[in-house]
Amino acid sequence: MKQNTSMEKDLEIRSQDAMCVNESQLSHKWYHNIKYAVVGIFFGVIFVKSEAISWFRIQEMFRLQSFHMYGIIGSAVIVGIVSLWLIRKFNIKTIYGEPIHVSPKKFNKGQIYGGLIFGLGWAATGACPGPLFAQIGAGATVIALTLLSAIAGTWVYGFFREKLPH
Amino acid sequence: MIKMLHLLKQPWPWYVAGPLIGLTVPALLLLGNKSFGISSSLRHICASCMPANIPFFKYDWKKEAWNLFFICGILLGGMLTVKLLGDPNPVSVNPTLAKELAGYGITDYRNLIPEDIMNWRSLFTLKGFLLMIPGGFLVGFGSRYAGGCTSGHAIMGLSNLQWASLVATVCFMIGGFIMANLILPLILSL
Judged on CB neighbours under 10 Å (0-12, 13-18, 19+), B114 is: buried
pLDDT tens for B75-84 read 999 999 999 9
Per-residue confidence band for A21, with pLDDT thresholds at 50, 70 and 90? low
A-chain CB neighbours of B154 within 8 Å are 73, 77
A-chain CB neighbours of B184 within 8 Å are 59, 123-124
- Residue B151's nearest CA partner among B130, B173, B128, B169 is B169
In this structure, the number of other CB atoms found within 10 A of the CB of residue B89 comes to 10
pLDDT tens for B89-146 read 889 899 999 999 999 999 999 999 999 999 999 999 999 999 999 999 999 999 999 9
Whether the predicted pLDDT of B188 surpasses 80: yes
Q: What's residue A16's pLDDT? A: 56
Per-residue confidence band for A20, with pLDDT thresholds at 50, 70 and 90? very low
pTM of the predicted protein model: 0.91
Q: What's residue B48's pLDDT? A: 94
Q: Which residues, 6+ apart, have CB-to-CB distance to A116 below 8 Å?
A: B142, B171, B174, B175, B178
Question: Do A18 and B152 touch, CB atoms closer than 8 A?
Answer: no
Question: Do A154 and A132 touch, CB atoms closer than 8 A?
Answer: no
Q: What angle separates helix B126-146 from helix A143-160, to the nearest 10 degrees?
A: 40
Tell me if A49 and B85 make a contact (CB, 8 A cut-off): yes
| Mean pLDDT within B64-76 | 95
CA B69 to CA A39: how far, in whole Å? 9
Whether the predicted pLDDT of A13 surpasses 60: no
Question: Do A98 and A26 touch, CB atoms closer than 8 A?
Answer: yes
Q: What's residue B7's pLDDT? A: 87
Q: Say yes or no: B59 contacts chain A, CB-CB below 8 A.
A: yes
Q: What's residue A30's pLDDT? A: 85
For the ranges A99-103, A143-147, B145-149, the lowest mean pLDDT is seen at: A99-103
pLDDT tens for B16-49 read 999 999 999 999 999 999 999 999 999 999 999 9
Domain coordinates in residue numbering, chain B:
1-86, 117-190
User: Which amino acid, residue B3?
Assistant: K
Tell me if B57 and A155 make a contact (CB, 8 A cut-off): yes
